[in-house]
Structures are given as structure tokens and as C-alpha cells.
Structure 1
Amino acid sequence: MNKTMKRLSTGVSGIAIAAMLLSGCSSSTTTSAPSKTKDNSTASTSGTPRVSIMVGGLEKIIYMPYMLAEKLGYYKDAGVTVTLVEESAGQDAELALLAGQVDGAGGFYDHTLDLQTKGKKVEAVVTMADVPGEQLMVANRLKDKVKTLADLKGLTIGVTGLGSSTNMLASYNVVKGGNKESDYKPLPVGAGQTLIAAMQNNRIDAAVTSEPTASLLKNKNLAYTFVDMNSKDGTVAALGGKYASTSLYMSNDFVKKNPEVVQKLANAYVKTLKWMSTHTPEEIADKMPEEYYAGDKALYIQALKGQLPMFTTDGKMPAGVPDNVQKILSAFKPAVKNVDLSQTYTNEFVDKVK
């Protein structure tokens, strides 16, 4: 990896995290990070467990619970020290998790299915949203050309990263339109200003993106929503049902060996989700770092209003949703049909939250 890591929580310094990830070393190589015992459990000299979590874009509203939990003091209340490390795509978080560089990943649930086809077992321990919170947006210059999903053929579609959830959702919509996955070009452009610049410079014809990037594209008259996977009704229409997205996933082995740590994290995130469900978008926005507003707090709040309904209030994986995710991914990844869904998520910890 060659991207700069940011320190976004207490625990490990940004410089230490950057060195850790760039060198390919695990978090146990720094004195301030979690140390590992022989059974791979987390430990710290203060007795408070330390956990590192890489999130595929902390400024994205879909991943808001991670930073909000810190701002509300809920990690501390739960008795765990969390270091949040930011990357632009969920795919990067997935790779860091597999390499043992972080303990958990903040990304979409679909990664757990994809990884199982590659012999890697990870599971979502908290499910924070049951719709993707994404939009397939098409450049305004193509409004007269792109009218059906079939018209996506031949387009260059911006995604956060190759193999990312935005890549998977782009592929599904292309295939749903009667095309093959190879009939479009996915181009990794990240999110936020890098994606907007790619659209402005005509490097991409469309993009799968979330808020606040989607609202910024509209506000700049660059693109329009072609497929809504942001609202519940839109998601059902586009994907045939709900689609578990934002989640905390960890290796099955880590979860098995560190149940007390996982429970503390579940306690913090469920408490955060409940707080979100009882406060206004304005109150929530006031808790977030100002840089997340991208220079327009009013637009951020507007986008937040549209995305709040996507979040669960209890952190549970809704019944039947994993089956729908499996069906969607199987449309262009046949191996996903053989995935054992029972190993891709658990409600064990959120069920115990008081």
C-alpha cells in the first residue's frame, strides 16, 4: 500500500500506523498498538483491550457510525480503545485485515462472501445498514444516450477500487441489463474530490458512489442518479430486496478467540446506532469533523437526511438479507452460490447488548 494513513482515534499514532501498514508488519510490532498473546488475543498494559479497525472511507456517511462512536465516547464507555485507520475503499480494508495489519474492517458485508470463495473466512459481527447507500450515477452529458441498464455497455464506470463493493454493484447492474461483466470498464477513482475530478475530466462516464459525493455531483451539475440503491424502496427495485452493507467484519478465528473484545465493540456500535435513531440530522452533523462537510454543511445535512433510514437500530443482520446478497453476487460470481452463509455473519454479540 502506498497511501498515507491517518490517525483518527486514540491508541496508535498516525505515523506508527503508516509505518506498520507500509512495511507489511502486523499491529503487534509497535509498542503502542495491541500486543498479541500466544492465542492471538488482544492485550494492553492498562488492561483495556486495543483494537485497530480500517474503514473504507470515514468521511462517507455510510461509514459514519465508526467516527461517531468515538465522538460520543462510546468506545471508552464500552471499555475498549479503538484506532480507526482510513482508506479510500473497502477492498483496501479487506486486504489489511487478511494481512493481519488490523483487527477489523469497516466495509460492506458482501466482502465476507467473496472472501469465502477464496478460502478466507471472515464474518460480520455488527450489521449497521440493510441497504447499500449507493447510487449509480451517469454523467449529464450522456443523459440522452443512457436510458436503460443495457446502455451501460461500453461505459467506463468509476468505483472506489477494483474488487470493492462499488465494483460489485456496478457489475451486477451491467449484467442485469443483459450484458457481460466484461462489457464495461471499472476504473478505480476513490470517492469525494478524486471521483468528482474524474467526472469533470470525462475520465469516467458513470460512477457508483455514496453521500456526500453523490449530492456534490448533482450540485455541480455533473451527473444524475440512474439507479437508486440509497433508499429502501430503490434498493428493493434495483436489487430485488435489502442488501446488507456497512458492517464490522473480522476473521472468524479472531472472533472465536476474542469474544469479550468483540462484545465490547458490539456494545459501542449498537449504542451508537440507537443514538443516531433518536437524534436529528443537524445534531448528528454537529458531532462529525468539519472536514467531512466538504465545505458545505447544509448539503451534508441534506444528504444525511436521505441516508439515515439505511441504518439499522440494533446491529442485527436482518433475516433473508444474506440470501439476497448471495443471489446478487452469484449473477456474475458463480462460485458465491456455494458459500456457507452461516459463517459470514453472526448476531451472537448484538443479541447480548443490553
Structure 2
Amino acid sequence: MKLGRSTKLGLSVVMSLGLILGGCGTQASDKTASSVSPTAQAKLSKINIMVGGLEKIIYMPAKLTENLGYFAEEGLEVILTSQASGVNAEQALIAGEVQGVVGFYDHTIDMQAKGKMLQEVVQFAKNPGARIMVSNKKKDEIKGLADLKGRNIGITSSGASSHFLVNYLVTKGGNSTKDYVPLAVGAGATLIAAMEQGQVDVAWATQPTTALLEQKGIASTFIDLESQDGAKEALGGSYPASSLYMNADYVKANPEVVQCLANAFVKTLKFMSTHTAEEIADKLPKEYYAGDKDMYVKSLQSSLAMFTSDGKMPEGGPEKVLEVLTLFTPTLKDAKIDLSKTYTNEFVDKVK
């Protein structure tokens, strides 16, 4: 049965009120979803969160939180859906199809310049967690940023954070965004195929895809945005990336719901900071391993340092993101961005 706009709005309001009245579920340090008490289960209400690629390690906290049972402990039934690109998730949020997005923080700045107010409420990572990969067939030709001129460069999709950062690197190399061809190749298998078939010379990739490209001898690391040192060298500072962001009006109207989400995600980040990569991998779906658990564990190990342990926005991070975006989007200088409205530590500060 197809619901009309007013009916959907009514359902959304009812779900939100149910969460507000019920509050967050009782937290327990070692509970799983199956061990939540009947009383807590009775409070479960649905909230939809779209993720810019559930299988990507940069967004791994979303599925991990679900599998650890932390959403249920907070009285939430969170429905996670996956999109190949963060920009698609952002559009779903703006359209009111979902209540939250696990994606890059930079979308909140980009959308404020376009008159849409989004707000980050939990910061997962301190850097992009990606690498710019160069085809092994072309690596002798592409040795510096200036050499990106005239190249076909793979991004997840137009307007995605991968597109933002490739624009920045091309511009930093002395070229303009018109001096290369951005091709939307997605992630995972489609990205690997594009590089293998020579459709792109260079591509943005995240773990475990980067490890697969290297393992298959298809591509090598050109720019490291995965390690903290590499990201700082390439971008000039900390670039807060993967996060949970929501519509600012929703955050203001539903603080209890947002607090429950913050509780769950911060608990996951603390779990990640106190467990090994193998222990974390054991809590994730086997299909995430891409057929090679050892490789996945190694990829996860190389990525863990980028995650925060408290969900807080790194100091100076928003300013760095705005600086990067402004380099290739001069109109941002005239947009009068209020960074204080693009994120908040209010909820993660209250997590016990």
C-alpha cells in the first residue's frame, strides 16, 4: 500500500514521539541484541539510517553497532540501508526518506552553502580513511599531483566526498577541476573492474578495496589519506570524515532520539579502541571479508587509528574542511558558512 505524504509525516512523528517518551534503553556493558530484556525490547522504535557503503571500513561502526546490540540497548530499532555513495544518502536525508546518514562530515558544509542545514552529531573518523590509487600501468607517468592533468580519475559519484577531495588534490597540483575527467565508478568490484579495464588511470578507494587492488597487482598507493600522517601531509591538517549527521531541525526536535544514537555509537567507538582488529572482524558479516579474512583483518588494522574513541569533533577539523572545500569552490568564501551549526558535541559529551 502506497502512503501519501501526510501519512508518512504522521508515522514519522509517531515514531519520534515514541522514542522521546520511552527514552534510551538501559545500558549494559556486555549485552547483545539477544540478551536485551523484554521490557527494553518493548520500547524498540524504528529509525532509518542510510550508509554510503555499509561494507566500507570507513563506515564500519554502523554495522558493528547493530551487531553488538547497542542500538537495541538504547531502545532503538535502527534500519541500516546501504548506498554506493554518500551523496545519494545525503539526498535521501534531505528528501525525508531517512532520519540519519553515516557519511562524510563535509556534506554539512556543502549543503549549508546551498541553504540546507545538516548537523553532525557523532564523529567517527579524524581523516578520510582513503587512498588515491594509481594504475600500475600508469604509475611511471603519474608521479606528482601536477600529473593528474588530463587523466580519467575514478570517484564514487558526482558530488560525493571523494569528488570533493579529488577536486582539491587536482587544484593543489596547479590544475583546475576542468583539467581532469571525474568518472563515477562506485566502490568495490565496480571500481576494481574500471581500473583493470583501463577506464580510469587513478581512483579514490577505501579499505578493503585498496588492499584488493594491491593484492591483484592492479594499482598502487599514490596519495595516502588513510593514515593520520599521510592525511595531514596531503591536506595540511586533520580532515574529519565519516560521521553520523542528521537534519538540523530533526536534531532540535528529537534530542532524546539523538542522545540514544550517540550513546550507542560512542560505545562502539570505545569497543573498537579496546579490541583487536580480529576481534572486531569477528563481529561483522563474513561477506565483508571479500573472501579473505586475513586480508580484511590487515586492512582493518591499518584503518583503526583514524577512528575517534569518543565521537567528538577534532579541534580545528571543521576549519580545515572548509579551507579544503573553498580551494576548489571559491563561492564558499561568499556563503558565510557558520561552522558552529554544522556539528555539535552536545550529545557525545553527555555519554556516560
Q: What's the TM-score, normalizing by structure 1?
A: 0.89
1:138-287 equivalence runs, <5 A = 138-287=134-283
1:132 matched residue in structure 2: 128
Q: Report the AA paired with residue 142 of structure 2.
A: V
1:1-354 equivalence runs, <5 A = 29=8, 35-37=11-13, 41-43=16-18, 47-337=43-333, 338-354=336-352
Structure-2 separation of matches of 1:162 and 1:313? 31
Q: Report the AA paired with residue 36 of structure 1.
A: S
Structure-2 separation of matches of 1:150 and 1:26? 50
Query: Can you list the C-alpha shifts for 1:67-95, whole angstroms capped at 9, x where unaligned?
Result: 00011000011111100011110011000
Query: Can you list the C-alpha shifts for 1:141-181, whole angstroms capped at 9, x where unaligned?
Result: 11111011000001111111110011111110000000001
**8 Å contact 1:27–1:100 — kept in the other structure?**
no
Structure-1 separation of matches of 2:161 and 2:275? 29
| Alpha-carbon shift at residue 243 of structure 1 (Å) | 0.5
Runs of 4 or more consecutive aligned structure 1 residues displaced over 6 Å after TM superposition: 25-28
Structure-2 separation of matches of 1:66 and 1:26? 28
**8 Å contact 2:43–2:75 — kept in the other structure?**
no
**8 Å contact 1:134–1:209 — kept in the other structure?**
yes
Q: Report the AA paired with residue 208 of structure 1.
A: W
**8 Å contact 1:42–1:51 — kept in the other structure?**
no
Deviates more, 1:140-149 or 1:266-275: 140-149
Q: Report the AA paired with residue 255 of structure 1.
A: V
Q: Report the AA paired with residue 76 of structure 2.
A: V
**8 Å contact 2:47–2:78 — kept in the other structure?**
yes
Q: 1:26 to 1:58 in 2, by over 3 A?
A: farther
Structure-1 separation of matches of 2:70 and 2:6? 23
Q: Report the AA paired with residue 309 of structure 1.
A: A
Aligned-partner SS, 2:174:
coil
Aligned-partner SS, 2:153:
strand
| Alpha-carbon shift at residue 48 of structure 1 (Å) | 3.2
Query: Can you list the C-alpha shifts for 1:235-277, whole angstroms capped at 9, x where unaligned?
Result: 1100000101010000100000000000000000000000000
Q: Report the AA paired with residue 343 of structure 1.
A: K
Runs of 5+ in structure 2 lacking a partner?
A: 23-41
| Alpha-carbon shift at residue 339 of structure 1 (Å) | 1.1
Structure-2 separation of matches of 1:153 and 1:28? 51
| Alpha-carbon shift at residue 290 of structure 1 (Å) | 0.6
Query: Can you list the C-alpha shifts for 1:103-132, whole angstroms capped at 9, x where unaligned?
Result: 001100000000011100001000010110
Q: 1:26 to 1:84 in 2, by over 3 A?
A: farther
Aligned-partner SS, 2:108:
helix
Structure-1 separation of matches of 2:145 and 2:299? 25
Q: Report the AA paired with residue 342 of structure 1.
A: S
Structure-2 separation of matches of 1:28 and 1:309? 44
Structure-1 separation of matches of 2:6 and 2:167? 34
**8 Å contact 2:44–2:72 — kept in the other structure?**
no
**8 Å contact 1:49–1:261 — kept in the other structure?**
no
Q: Report the AA paired with residue 239 of structure 2.
A: Y
Structure-2 separation of matches of 1:56 and 1:28? 28
| Alpha-carbon shift at residue 199 of structure 1 (Å) | 0.6
Q: What's the TM-score, normalizing by structure 2?
A: 0.90
Structure-1 separation of matches of 2:120 and 2:6? 21
| Alpha-carbon shift at residue 318 of structure 1 (Å) | 1.1
**8 Å contact 1:26–1:101 — kept in the other structure?**
no
| Alpha-carbon shift at residue 96 of structure 1 (Å) | 0.3
Structure-2 separation of matches of 1:37 and 1:82? 16
1:7 matched residue in structure 2: none
Q: Report the AA paired with residue 88 of structure 2.
A: D
Runs of 5+ in structure 1 lacking a partner?
A: 1-15
2:26 matched residue in structure 1: none
